[in-house]
Amino acid sequence: MTELWNEFDLKIPPLITLPSNNANLAQKLRTALNKYEKQHTIKNKDFPETAALLSRLMARRKNSFRHMIGFHSIRKLNSALSRLLRIDLPRDLERFSGALPDMVFEDDICVEIPNRNSFDYVLVRLVGVYYVHKRIRECCTDAVDYITKMMRSNYFFETNTLFFATIAKLFNFSFELSNLCAELYNQILPLRQYFPHKGIYEFLPKDTILPNTLEHLGNNSENSTYKELETQIPLSVVLNATPTVPKHKQRSDVGTEVDREKKVKKYNIEQLRTVEGIKQFIAAENKARKNSLQTSLTKKILNHEWAGAQKIFEKKLLANDNKKAVNIFQKFISSKI
């Protein structure tokens, strides 16, 4: 069974419908599938986006962490998430549900329902998704254990905090989606014996044994991981932590801190009355903005606004309208600084 659900490209059996007198079977199945689809749509809303965020973070930081053994656990988590994308369970359930009768009015009426091979394929897919989610949660636990060790030593603290939050969300999403698979599997597995089965083709080998039940994870079972993480690093420490200063750099007594008003240097706009003065101002500010935007005089001016002001100034100079160029640029700067 392990090899069967773990296959990437599981061959879909042909969807063949056979007559059956058990009309309640179709009603129970459609109710269970519709309930799963509704809950899955709600709980799976942010899961792909969070998984994509982890992939981008890992790709961006792989050079910073490539020599660290623990980073492999994050790579394994990313691989497990990629594996889950290759199993399109909602599509398989929709395909199976489409072969069920739309409406049944009487219990003893003869209806056409999919054969057992198609139903077995759905069961195998549910087991596969369940165990992939289990693998994701195991990788989340290993990855967080590695990240918390680096956070204690203040190594890339901001980046690791973001990793921590992302992996925690993935763990929670996987926990809920795994329970949905377990609920649907446990609900529809007893109906397997009522599915008609004819033909030579067998989807499941004769020695295959399907699990009798999939464990439904309670709120206090695998969520103990969060309690362990809270014990390792309390949430208050993560949110309010400040990097520690090495002992050789600590100062013994610095006295009482006193707030002092910082003197703000004001620029004399009258210096921008000539073309040469403006050109010198632009050259100095371009250099200052490149080195440190916060220390430049034009720090409140956005990059596109600064570039647009220079462009208009140069355009007026090319048109030999120096007076208008100076006037426009001077008014723009005086309104910003």
pLDDT in tens, 277-305: 888 888 888 888 888 877 788 888 888 78
- Segment 256-272 shows an average pLDDT of 58
Find, among 157, 153, 172, the residue nearest to 43 by Cα.
Answer: 172
pLDDT of 64 reads 64
Beta bridge partners of 111: 20
Rounded Cα distance between 92 and 20, Å, is 22
Rounded Cα distance between 215 and 184, Å, is 12
Express each pLDDT in 11-39 by its tens digit: 788 888 888 777 778 888 888 888 888 88
pLDDT of 80 reads 87
Which spans in the chain are helix H?
Answer: 2-5, 23-43, 47-65, 71-85, 89-97, 116-152, 157-188, 224-232, 235-240, 275-291, 303-318, 322-336
- Rounded to 10 deg, the angle between the 322-336 and 303-318 helix axes is 160
Radius of gyration of the chain (CA): 32
- Segment 82-100 shows an average pLDDT of 85
Name the one residue in this structure whose structure tokens are 């750099």. Answer: 249
User: Of the ranges 26-40, 193-207, 302-316, which one carries the lowest mean pLDDT score?
Assistant: 193-207
Q: DSSP letter string over 223-288?
A: THHHHHHHHHS-HHHHHH--PPPPGGG--S--------PPPPPPP-GGGGSSHHHHHHHHHHHHHH
- Segment 205-222 shows an average pLDDT of 72
The rounded percent of the chain whose pLDDT value lies above 90 is: 5
Total-model pTM: 0.60
